[in-house]
Structure 1
Amino acid sequence: MDHVFQPEPRLQDFAEHLRQHRGNPEGTIKKKLTHIHSFLAFIGAQHRFMRPLLLTDIDDFLMECSRRYARTTTADISCSLRSYLRFLLATGELSSDLAPSVVTPVIRRYEQPLRALPWDDVRRILAAIDRNTPTGLRDYTVLLLMSSYGLGAGEVIRLTLDDIDWQAATLSVMRPKTGVAFVLPLLPALAEALVSYLKHGRPRRALTRHVFLSMRAPHHPLSASSAIRHMLVGHARTAGVTAAYLGSHVLRHTHACRQMEQETSPKVLSDILGHRSPESLSAYVRIATEQLRQLPLPVPR
């Protein structure tokens, strides 16, 4: 192998490759570029860019990652590295294909159950929100949308005023990862919450058509799932709800569990959640099974 690794590779070209040829969304591109930047910084710190890139360089980097991150994160970084190595091969900057030799930590599918809350806890959180304030109206509407439809944080923060069809009573939603759009019925409780927020909560002089905005000028759109997480954690604390994990996807997982308890068709639920296959619901089946242990079920004799 005659490639000499450069300290400043064409990351912009790599980003464009991911965008145009791999169809990756901007969030995924940003994540992969962050991973590759860390890899290049590691190589540069070791002064290894002065000689051809070796598999041992990649192994050393991943070993360092495994000491700092969870297996799932290290596996994600490995995936980014393979993608970058294939790009270097395709552009002639590598003479040998190193991608197949990148070792990835083994992650068993659904080895850990997804996090979900009891439905009563969701009700307590919603009831604890003070809807006499603009911030409370916004937060209540956001969390009600997520718990009622199983929407992810990325889907909620991308909603615009144009996505609401009041005449047809529908809500158009875009999947941030795939760019696929779908339409949901605007339930009466959601319509009431949206009207109340838009009339009395949403800043009137906002220059954007995004639905959910920051409450401080210049009232920019909520831009990250962390805003949703802080929102949920704060209101859960007020409601006295404690959980081992309160991330932005908790309400999505809770919605899935609730729908399965009500025997919603797996195909319908899979379509709502944006899964490619109903088989993806097996993760939620595991949660529901664990919840059944808490019920006084009769034991056959």
Structure 2
Amino acid sequence: MWRADRCVRASSRQQYLYWIARFRRYCNALGLDETDELTRDGIRRFQVWYAHSRGITTANLALASSSLRSLHRVYEIVGTPLPPWGAVERRPSPVTAVLRDYAVHLGQHRGNPEITVRKKLCHVGKLLEHLSRSGKSWRQLSLPDIDAFLIECARRFARSTTADIASTVRSFARFLLASGRIRADLADAVISPVQPRFERPRRALPWEDVQRLLRAVDTSTARGLRDHALLSMMSTYGLGAGEVIGLQLQHIDWNAGTLQMFRPKTGVSFLLPLLPPVAKVLARYLRHGRPAHTPTRHVFVQMKVPFGALVASSAVRHILIKHAALAGIQAPYLGSHVLRHSNAARQLDIGTKARVLSDLLGHRDPESVSAYVRIATQSLREVSLPVPR
């Protein structure tokens, strides 16, 4: 089962069986029910017992946990009643009332998605830490404090990051004023670094490299089928990481031949045609790659127990970097958006109108597509310009 479910190697299976035997010996010795102890807390108790009996630390027993988590999955698949593995870990809510209210303000009144709310709370947390070093809180916030904080940020972060933090500080100051927490209007006086539009072209791969990347994925494994389907969708439609990892099974209409996608940044849903090449790789992944009995309806899941959804763009970036290295692609930057940028450049190369491309990419500002003109090098080479005399 482990071979079919997780493509586990023979050496790993031997390790699993070793720890399962040790765990069963432990349960028999203490008169415990094996299935009752197959929880996160139960495994921790086993690790402590085993470490104490061997005179080692539990830090060396990570493989025991993954082995017994796999045993838990075996029992789930065969239908054995089991206690839940562990409580769902939730993100901690902001610890102070002002941050909780600010989070509500961003989500409910400003319409910011959760990922943006978390980012802004992180920025404000840095500001509050800066104030606390001077024995102050947001109640004593002043322009000199903000200036000193942003100067400190400028020394530590890139200009674009500092500008983003300054935007959050401006937003937080407006919130404090609107909620009656401060009396001075500080927002308009917040100075941030100037970030020229399109100062740096979007990073993109030549289309030949995109095709080479897809060919380099080993589709003989479940993980390879997942990666190939994910990267194919991103390169074909120009999807961002958040859009592709948000896709769920009910969003695929096989009869109508459509995909219902959701843009987490703007909160907009949109339909895409389910193109035959994409339908083929998706169907192959869903039939032969995606593990059965997953706890989520997300299409793209982690290839380790408990097979939860991919939840961050960093997972997509790691997938991309891995297969780019296998394909021998040397690029100065391989972020999760590089295939989106590559698709945009390709669309311009084949003659797609800028306005149409802007709609396809979901830009609020049609002029945003101007950034991609600087990477559509093939089209620019074919433009004939008069030679000045």
TM-score class, shorter = over 0.9
**Aligned residue in 1 for 2:298:** 210
Q: How does 1:7-46 map to 2 (within 5 A)?
A: 10-46=98-134
Is 1:62 the counterpart of 2:150 in the alignment?
yes
| TM-superposed deviation, 1:53 | 2.3
Larger radius of gyration: 2
Is 1:196 the counterpart of 2:267 in the alignment?
no
Is 1:272 the counterpart of 2:360 in the alignment?
yes
**Post-superposition CA distance 1:115-155 (Å, at most 9, x none):** 00000001111001000000000000000000000000000
Q: 1:9 to 1:292 in 2, by over 3 A?
A: same
Q: 1:42 to 1:298 in 2, by over 3 A?
A: closer
Q: How does 1:211-290 map to 2 (within 5 A)?
A: 211-289=299-377
SS at structure 1 position matched to 2:376:
helix
Instruction: Name the CA distance, whole Å, in 2 between partners of 1:87 and 1:65.
Output: 22
**Aligned residue in 1 for 2:187:** 99
**Aligned residue in 2 for 1:4:** none
Q: How does 1:139-218 map to 2 (within 5 A)?
A: 139-218=227-306
1:271 partner letter: D
Instruction: Name the CA distance, whole Å, in 1 between partners of 2:139 and 2:258.
Output: 59
Instruction: Name the CA distance, whole Å, in 2 between partners of 1:178 and 1:296.
Output: 35
Instruction: Name the CA distance, whole Å, in 2 between partners of 1:296 and 1:277.
Output: 27
Q: 1:22 to 1:51 in 2, by over 3 A?
A: closer
Moved more, 7-16 or 113-122: 7-16
- The correspondence for 1:47, drawn from 132, 135, 144, is 135
| TM-superposed deviation, 1:46 | 1.9
**Post-superposition CA distance 1:256-284 (Å, at most 9, x none):** 00011111122321111001233221111
Instruction: Name the CA distance, whole Å, in 1 between partners of 2:171 and 2:126.
Output: 15
| TM-superposed deviation, 1:51 | 7.8
1:153 partner letter: A
Is 1:124 the counterpart of 2:212 in the alignment?
yes
Instruction: Name the CA distance, whole Å, in 2 between partners of 1:76 and 1:210.
Output: 31
Instruction: Name the CA distance, whole Å, in 1 between partners of 2:110 and 2:127.
Output: 21
Question: Once superposed, what is the RMSD of the aligned Cα atoms?
Answer: 1.9
Please, what TM-score do these two structures have when normalized by structure 2? 0.72
Moved more, 134-143 or 42-51: 42-51
- Provide structure 1 residue ranges, at least 5 long, that are not aligned to the other structure: 1-6
**Aligned residue in 1 for 2:65:** none
**Aligned residue in 1 for 2:176:** 88
| TM-superposed deviation, 1:25 | 0.8
**Post-superposition CA distance 1:198-252 (Å, at most 9, x none):** 0000011102110000010100000000000000000000000010000000000
SS at structure 2 position matched to 1:144:
helix
SS at structure 2 position matched to 1:213:
coil
Is 1:113 the counterpart of 2:219 in the alignment?
no
1:95 partner letter: R
Q: 1:50 to 1:118 in 2, by over 3 A?
A: closer
SS at structure 1 position matched to 2:271:
strand
Please, what TM-score do these two structures have when normalized by structure 1? 0.93
| TM-superposed deviation, 1:91 | 1.2
- Provide structure 2 residue ranges, at least 5 long, that are not aligned to the other structure: 1-94
Instruction: Name the CA distance, whole Å, in 2 between partners of 1:48 and 1:12.
Output: 19
Instruction: Name the CA distance, whole Å, in 2 between partners of 1:88 and 1:15.
Output: 12
Instruction: Name the CA distance, whole Å, in 1 between partners of 2:179 and 2:384.
Output: 64
| TM-superposed deviation, 1:9 | 5.5
| TM-superposed deviation, 1:48 | 2.8
Instruction: Name the CA distance, whole Å, in 1 between partners of 2:142 and 2:276.
Output: 60
2:265 partner letter: K
Instruction: Name the CA distance, whole Å, in 2 between partners of 1:73 and 1:245.
Output: 17
| TM-superposed deviation, 1:178 | 1.4
Higher RCO by CA contacts (8 Å cutoff, separation 6 or greater): 1
Instruction: Name the CA distance, whole Å, in 2 between partners of 1:223 and 1:296.
Output: 42
Contact 2:131 2:138 in 1 (8 A): no
